[in-house]
Amino acid sequence: SLADPMEDPRRKALSECLQQLPPEVVEMVELVKIDGMSGNDAAVVFSVALGTVHSRVNRALEKLKACIEGKLQ
């Protein structure tokens, strides 16, 4: 039998930390960092400037990293 993936403390921390971010920012991170969408395309989808996409994604990743590290200590 397969273990529940949410029993993995890293997955649980990631899930909890993602819930602390605005849904639009989570979607932006998913599209750019996971799905490989270009920053330019994401800027069009979200109707924001390219620099805004970069800053939101980078800020979200920094917050996720700090949140996850805090939960795993």
Which pLDDT tens digit goes with each residue over 36-60? 999 999 999 999 999 999 999 999 9
- Cα–Cα distance for residue pair 53/27, rounded to 1 Å: 11
Indicate if the pLDDT at residue 10 is higher than 70. yes
pLDDT for 13 equals 92
Q: How confident is the model at residue 6 (pLDDT cuts 50, 70, 90)?
A: low
Enter the pTM of the model. Answer: 0.85
Statement: residue 5 has pLDDT above 70: no
Q: What is the DSSP track for the chain? A: -PPPGGGSHHHHHHHHHHTTS-HHHHHHHIIIIIS---HHHHHHHHTS-HHHHHHHHHHHHHHHHHHHHHHH-
